Amino acid sequence: MIKFENVRFGYHETDVINNVSFNIPKNKYTCIVGHNGSGKSTIAKLIMGLENCRSGKIFVDGIEVNDSNLDVIREKIGIVFQNPDNQFIATTVEDDIAFTLENACVPQHQMQKIIEEYATKVGMQQYLKHDPEKLSGGQKQRVALASVLVGSSEAIIFDEATSMLDPEGKQEINQLITELKHNRTIISITHDMEELLNADYVIVLEKGVVVMEGTPDVIFSDIEKLQQLRLRLPFVLQVILEAKLKNFNVNNTMRIEEVVEVLCRSV
């Protein structure tokens, strides 16, 4: 779906993204992880054409991203940003969803129906007339998601979309992501390692370079490297690691139930 070919990018002299190549599979749930300053959010900006790369090429569905075809790219891919307050454009929920429709020149008489449909999809149908100031962070992000979904059907990027939310809001958004991931490409830029367990594909960035890439199984089989990168392991893997130190015979797995079963049997 999205392909980076030797991409370089930087805001000043030094490169933030240094000769990066990778391939994000279509209709899969891909996580891009890395520490602050690893360039992971910049990747999202490059895909959306908000920044132009210095060298290299970015392809979306075989189309090269450049200034002349941004419209096409943005019809395919939408993005939910980190801060819930800074992406709410209108003064009510319905007007905010309508903003995307207005930009896409959807005829006025069709808008009401579409708005209701997508508000229902994210569970915000009762809040159509509400002011964003009166919504919680999670609700705002749900509206942002609806506003993005009405315009871009094929892929959604979540740029640390849950990092400013309380646990409840985080849960809501993650729930929505799971619902959306059928027949849609989901790209989640995150530093929450637990999220990786649900992913189909993982790209690990460090200082603007791809250091690991593959399915979660592949990524988590190299625990040493993850520790070297100072990435906190998901809880399941921490348990397995500790269990192995205590001479329990557990295999590497990502399902906490399996670990519990093995441990219970051994005791």
Binding site for other proteins (CB under 8 A): 45, 48, 50, 71, 74-75, 78-79, 81, 83, 85-92, 94-95, 98-108, 111, 115, 132-133, 144, 147-148, 151
Measured from the CB atom, the residue of 78 and 234 that comes closer to other proteins is: 78
Measured from the CB atom, the residue of 111 and 263 that comes closer to other proteins is: 111
Which whole-number Å values give the CA distances from 73 to 1, 5, 77, in the listed order? 11, 17, 6
> 3-class SS at 154?
coil
β-sheet bridge partners, residue 78: 156
Q: Dig out the tokens for 82 from the structure.
A: 């980190």
Q: Could you tell me the smallest distance in angstroms from the CB atom of residue 20 to other proteins? A: 21
Q: Could you tell me the smallest distance in angstroms from the CB atom of residue 194 to other proteins? A: 26
Q: Could you tell me the smallest distance in angstroms from the CB atom of residue 107 to other proteins? A: 6
- Phi, psi dihedrals of residue 190, rounded to the nearest 5°: -155, 165
Measured from the CB atom, the residue of 139 and 220 that comes closer to other proteins is: 139
Q: Dig out the tokens for 10 from the structure.
A: 């930087």
Torsion of CA 47, 207, 185, 48, to 10 degrees: -10
Which whole-number Å values give the CA distances from 178 to 170, 185, 189, 233, 242, in the listed order? 12, 11, 15, 22, 30
**Dist. CA 45–CA 5, nearest whole Å:** 16
Q: What is the DSSP string of 38-91?
A: SSHHHHHHHHTTSS--SEEEEEETTEE--GGGHHHHHHHEEEE-S-GGGG--SS
Measured from the CB atom, the residue of 131 and 166 that comes closer to other proteins is: 131
Q: Could you tell me the smallest distance in angstroms from the CB atom of residue 121 to other proteins? A: 17
Measured from the CB atom, the residue of 45 and 244 that comes closer to other proteins is: 45
- Phi, psi dihedrals of residue 201, rounded to the nearest 5°: -150, 145
Measured from the CB atom, the residue of 18 and 92 that comes closer to other proteins is: 92
Q: Could you tell me the smallest distance in angstroms from the CB atom of residue 29 to other proteins? A: 20
Cα Rg, the chain, nearest whole Å: 20
Q: Could you tell me the smallest distance in angstroms from the CB atom of residue 221 to other proteins? A: 36
Q: Could you tell me the smallest distance in angstroms from the CB atom of residue 160 to other proteins? A: 12
Measured from the CB atom, the residue of 59 and 99 that comes closer to other proteins is: 99
